[in-house]
């Protein structure tokens, strides 16, 4: 999901390559919720990779990855580990986010209209993807085809969602993966996400 290869020597405060004792390599995302800085589309800090490929809801495309996590405050930390956003007219808005909070994985799906602000049905839909503990590996797949969203956990289909008619099939979307805190009070919580087999596929 980078425009150039990531080598074993690549390292920063927020991104690095981690190799475990068995030789498996992971992309490590490291972030403290109390860090300063935000993007134009969000109010919380993040360390994410954005896929450069853009697509529409009428396409057939998927994002998949396997990950585990560690956190200094597992119960209070709340963050997104994968999502896709749409280039809306007022701002880029997330149509789907994979969110972790207190050991639970939930997909948050929103039928945003083309302005990226108005919700077509006035709400955000929540889909249960099960639980997770620290150091437990979980595989996630977000698949979109002809405006139907399919959500998988460990190769098992957990939920489907059909986007509303008023959600644009022409505006471009893009995937992101990493760690994006949802804690609005910016607590001092340090968390790391370890990802492998991070892949985007399109047909």
pLDDT tens digit sequence for 32-56: 888 866 555 556 788 899 999 999 9
Average pLDDT over residues 133-162: 98
pLDDT band, residue 1 (cuts 50/70/90): very low
Residue 108 CB partners (closer than 8 Å, separation 6+): 94, 96, 97, 99, 124, 125, 126
Provide the pLDDT for residue 172: 98
pLDDT in tens, 109-142: 999 999 999 999 999 999 999 999 999 999 999 9
- Whether the pLDDT of residue 90 is over 80: the answer is yes
Provide the pLDDT for residue 182: 85
Lowest mean pLDDT among 34-43, 68-77, 157-166: 34-43
| Beta strands in the chain, from DSSP E residues, in sequence order | 15-19, 25-32, 46-50, 60-71, 78-87, 92-101, 104-112, 119-131, 138-145, 148-153, 156-162, 173-181, 190-202
Rounded Cα distance, 143 and 64, in Å: 8
Percent of the chain exceeding pLDDT 70 equals 90
Provide the pLDDT for residue 127: 98
75 or 141: which leads in pLDDT: 141
């Amino acid at each position: 999901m980078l425009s150039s290869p990531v080598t074993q020597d690549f390292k920063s405060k927020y991104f690095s390559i981690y190799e475990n004792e068995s030789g498996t390599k992971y992309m490590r995302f490291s972030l403290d919720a109390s860090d300063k800085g935000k993007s134009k589309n969000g109010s919380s800090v993040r360390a994410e990779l954005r896929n450069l490929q853009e697509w529409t809801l009428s396409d057939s495309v998927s994002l998949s990855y396997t990950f585990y996590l560690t956190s200094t405050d597992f119960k209070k930390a709340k963050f997104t580990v994968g999502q896709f956003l749409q280039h809306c007219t007022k701002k880029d808005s997330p149509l789907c986010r994979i969110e972790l909070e207190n050991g639970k994985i939930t997909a948050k799906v929103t039928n945003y209209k083309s302005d990226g602000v108005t919700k077509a049905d006035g709400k955000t839909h929540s889909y249960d993807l099960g639980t997770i503990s620290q150091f437990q590996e979980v595989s996630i797949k977000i698949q979109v085809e002809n405006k139907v969203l399919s959500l998988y956990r460990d190769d098992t289909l957990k939920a489907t969602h059909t986007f509303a008619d008023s959600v644009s099939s022409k505006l471009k979307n893009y995937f992101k993966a990493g760690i994006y805190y949802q804690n609005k009070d910016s607590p001092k919580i340090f968390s790391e996400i370890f990802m492998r087999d991070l892949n985007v596929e399109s047909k």
